[in-house]
């Protein structure tokens, strides 16, 4: 088994985040620094991550949070900023955020220690729809919206087609629901920059059909069995 898959299945982090831990030399296998793509014997090899022995989770946990802005979607932050982990209940199992919302964004964020579940929801090939409430400065023209829907180039790659529904528009601002099927870094903010608009407010309100359902900012709850099953097949 590849080392990143093993780490993810043990609830350390998503596979992508585990790759970063490996690149940074924070993972050791049998006392030696691990390398990207390394194969391990999960039953016999000793794996240490950030000084702690890694073992499989005895039970998978699944949570949803209404992330407030002003915190980062990492387990730890080298700059000492508040992280989403600070909002989790005490004595929660070792879990990690599924995907990310940037520091100034808020809304629906999942947590788990199930690596396959996390990979299924975040891998680009899955194309899981995620819907955001977006508020931009000024009025966004019909032409700009058509361009965004068709796909725009950011970071050298054209975005997938997206859905945009205008909720409210005036000369001072535009509110929209935007649904994308990718999860690139700061994707929506960069998309609107291509049409000359800054995003003033960004909140993820749905993953597939899963919504926040009244969770206040910073609140967390366990997913129901039905919600877990839905997300495994969305």
The secondary structure of the chain, three-state, reads CEHHHHHHHCCCCCHHHHHHHHHCCCEEECCEECCCCCECCCCCCCEEECCEECCCCCCCCEEEEEECCCCECCCCCCCCCCEHHHHCCCCCCCCEEECCCCCCCEEEEEEECCHHHHHHHHCHHHCCCEEEEEEEECCCCHHHHHHHHHCCEECCEECCCCEEEEEEECCCEEEEEEEECCCCCCHHHHHHHCCCCCEEEEEEEEECCEECCCCCCCCEEECCHHHHHHHHHC
**Residue 19 is among the residues annotated as catalytic for this protein:** no
Q: How far apart are alpha carbons 11 and 56 in whole angstroms? A: 7
Catalytic residue among 77, 102, 116, 200: 102
Q: Do the Cβ atoms of 104 and 117 come closer than 8 Å?
A: no
List the structure tokens of 142: 């019909």
Q: Which residues are catalytic?
A: 102
């Amino acid at each position: 088994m590849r080392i990143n898959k093993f780490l993810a299945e043990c609830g350390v982090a998503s596979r992508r985040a585990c790759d970063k831990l490996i690149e940074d030399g924070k993972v050791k296998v049998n006392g030696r620094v691990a390398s990207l793509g390394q194969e391990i014997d999960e039953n016999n090899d000793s794996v240490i991550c950030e000084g702690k022995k890694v073992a499989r989770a005895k039970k998978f946990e699944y949570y949803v949070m209404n992330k407030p802005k002003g915190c980062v979607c990492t387990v730890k932050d080298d700059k000492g900023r508040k992280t989403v982990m600070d909002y989790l209940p005490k004595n929660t199992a070792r879990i990690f955020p599924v995907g990310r919302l940037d520091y100034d964004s808020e809304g629906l964020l999942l947590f788990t220690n199930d690596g396959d579940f996390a990979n299924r929801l975040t891998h680009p090939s899955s194309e899981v729809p995620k819907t955001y409430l977006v508020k931009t400065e000024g009025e966004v023209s019909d032409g700009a919206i058509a361009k965004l829907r068709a796909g725009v180039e950011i970071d050298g790659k054209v975005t997938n087609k997206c859905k945009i529904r205008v909720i409210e528009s005036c000369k001072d601002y535009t509110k929209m629901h935007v649904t994308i099927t990718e999860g690139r870094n700061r994707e929506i903010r960069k998309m609107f920059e291509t049409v000359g608009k800054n995003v003033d407010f960004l909140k993820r309100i749905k993953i597939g059909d899963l919504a926040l359902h009244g969770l206040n900012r910073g609140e967390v709850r366990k997913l129901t069995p039905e919600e877990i099953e839905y997300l495994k097949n969305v």
